[in-house]
Amino acid sequence: MKEGAPQQAPGKGEVVSESPRSPDTTMVTVVYALYLASFVVGFTSVIGVVIAYTYGGSGPAWLDEHYRYQIRTFWIGLLYASVATLLTLIVIGFPLLLALAVWFIVRCVKGFKGVQEKRAPHSVDSWLL
13 lies in a domain?
A: no
Cβ(49)–Cβ(71) below 8 Å: yes
| Single-letter code of the amino acid located at 56 | G
62 lies in a domain?
A: yes
pLDDT digits (tens, 9 = 90+) for 93-128: 999 999 999 999 999 999 999 999 999 998 899 988
Domain count, the chain: 1
What range does the domain containing 93 cover?
A: 26-116
39 lies in a domain?
A: yes
In whole angstroms, give the CA distance from residue 57 to residue 65.
9
pLDDT digits (tens, 9 = 90+) for 32-45: 999 999 999 989 99
Question: 73-76 contacts: CB < 8 A, separation 24 or more?
Answer: 73/35, 73/104, 73/107, 73/108, 73/111, 74/35, 74/45, 74/48, 74/49, 75/49, 76/127
6 lies in a domain?
A: no
pTM: 0.82
20 lies in a domain?
A: no
8 lies in a domain?
A: no
125 lies in a domain?
A: no
70 lies in a domain?
A: yes
